[in-house]
A and B are shown apart, each in its own frame.
Chain A
Amino acid sequence: MTTDVIDRLVGIAPGDALDAIRNERPNARENAQASFDALLHSEELDDASQLERLAIAYWTIALSQSPAAPFYRELLATEDDATASALDAALPGALTVGPYGDYPDGPLSVENVPGLVWRPEAALESAVSHRLAAALAHTHLLVYRPRDSSADALQTLLDAGWSTTGIVTLSQLVAFLNFQLRVVAGLTVLKGEL
């Protein structure tokens, strides 16, 4: 059995007050970890390779400016240090604040918020595969401006070589980490106030 990642990132030990609170929702606790394992310890890597998964995971967490970034960077660097360094180099040009984006035309258009539409620059394009570069752009979309999502954005992934199943996995990975990093952030604050 692997260490519970949320416990590790928050700093929760057996017997702590937060350990007891998490145990009140035992299936949520167990399945948050099972989700991490399903996405990052999968044995089925045909549609999304381990390097792709780890790069997308680190990019998601780094863009979110989560304190969990060193943990995910280490996972990626262990697999491929060059990709981790390439993402670090690209990060300053990709960071912004969210959520932003446009609504379908209509009464909500007044709430449209413009913002960065990020694409990998040449240095990153040359350091990673075309598939991964497309996935990193899609990750930026999902992290910061999910309401800008479109069928066209999925077509871009298909054209870059992602299968339908691979897109499901990539989407789940980014979306799950957006949950996990917020549980970690919330519980870390709560821990300081117990």
Chain B
Amino acid sequence: MSETVIEHTFVAPNAFTQAELGWEAWLEPLPIDELTDRHWAGLVDKGRANSPYFRLLVRDPDILGARTRTDNDIFYNEKGGLPRAQRELSAASASRTNGCIFCASVHSRFATHHSKRHDDVQRLLDEGTSAPQDDPQWRAVIDASVALTKTPNEFSAENVKQLRDAGLDDLSIADAIHGAAFFNWANRLMLSLGEPTPPKE
């Protein structure tokens, strides 16, 4: 007997936005009352039990826990390296390239929050990753993230030079690599296991 996917009746968003979207799974998340200690450990942050995304992923708890700890250190470890806004920019650029409307919404919003540059971020969403950006660090981070997101990947010594010429040190360059690389993980889960729901009015 095979299981059946969950069909949704809402119309999923069809454009990139910085608005707050929801997300619903196509497979059944683990019910909260079935969570064991190991599942709770996999969730890392107990609040994530409220999310259908994390309660679906927690069906394989060890990889979820390792995924989340990787994510947190790449994006939230602020000991040197790339400024937070530009880490979010790497995530948004990878998401824009792969076409993950949900991931792009979250991380473009975070990029705006940290940079206070809503219009520059919105241009990335509206016109794409090749849209003009005056800031050489933004240009370099976006270009590197796009190159790294291509298959086969196109990241080259030219990208490293561009990042360096823009004033970024080696740890910052490594952060940009990890930020874009991580969203090639996250985009594939978010895109393939469910879909975004319309913004709250």
Contact = CB atoms under 8 A, between A and B. Distances in A.
Interface of A: 17-18, 21-22, 24-28, 30-32, 34-35, 38-39, 42, 63-66, 97-99, 101, 103-108, 111, 141-144, 146-147, 149, 151-155, 158-159, 161, 163-165, 167-169, 171-172, 174-176, 178-183, 185-187, 189-190, 192-194
A99 B151 contact: yes
A179 B101 CA distance: 19
Contacts of B28: 164
B73 A194 contact: no
Contacts, number: 216
Nearest to B80: A24
Most A CB contacts (10 A, CB to CB) among B79, B156, B161, B193 go to: B193
Given A65-B152, A169-B60, A35 B5 contact: no
Residues of A contacting B: mostly: helix
A64 B151 contact: yes
Interface in B22-75: 26-28, 56-57, 59-60, 62-67, 69-70, 72-74
Interface residues of B, number: 71
Contacts of B12: 104
Interface in B1-28: 2-7, 12-16, 26-28
Given A34-B66, A153-B192, A189-B157, A159 B2 contact: yes
Given A106-B14, A154-B5, A176 B74 contact: no
Given A146-B99, A158-B3, A189-B157, A31 B69 contact: yes
Given A28-B74, A106-B15, A168-B57, A35 B148 contact: no
B149 interface: yes
Interface in B63-96: 63-67, 69-70, 72-74, 77, 79-81
A98 B188 CA distance: 13
A158 B195 CA distance: 18
A63 B151 contact: yes
B38 to A, nearest CB: 11
B124 interface: no
Interface of B: 2-7, 12-16, 26-28, 56-57, 59-60, 62-67, 69-70, 72-74, 77, 79-81, 97-101, 128, 148-153, 155-157, 159-161, 164, 170-171, 173-175, 177-178, 180-182, 184-189, 191-193
A57 B104 CA distance: 27
Contacts of A34: 62, 65-66, 69
A28 B14 contact: no
A183 B178 CA distance: 6
Contact of B155 (A27, A38, A165, A186): A186
A151 B60 CA distance: 20
Contacts of B4: 155, 158
Contact of B63 (A30, A142, A159, A169): A169
Given A22-B174, A64-B151, A27 B100 contact: no
Contacts of A21: 170-171, 174
B151 A31 contact: no
Q: Which 10 A-B pairs have the closest CB atoms?
A: A106-B14, A186-B177, A147-B99, A182-B181, A27-B73, A179-B185, A149-B192, A28-B73, A65-B152, A175-B188
B26 A151 contact: yes
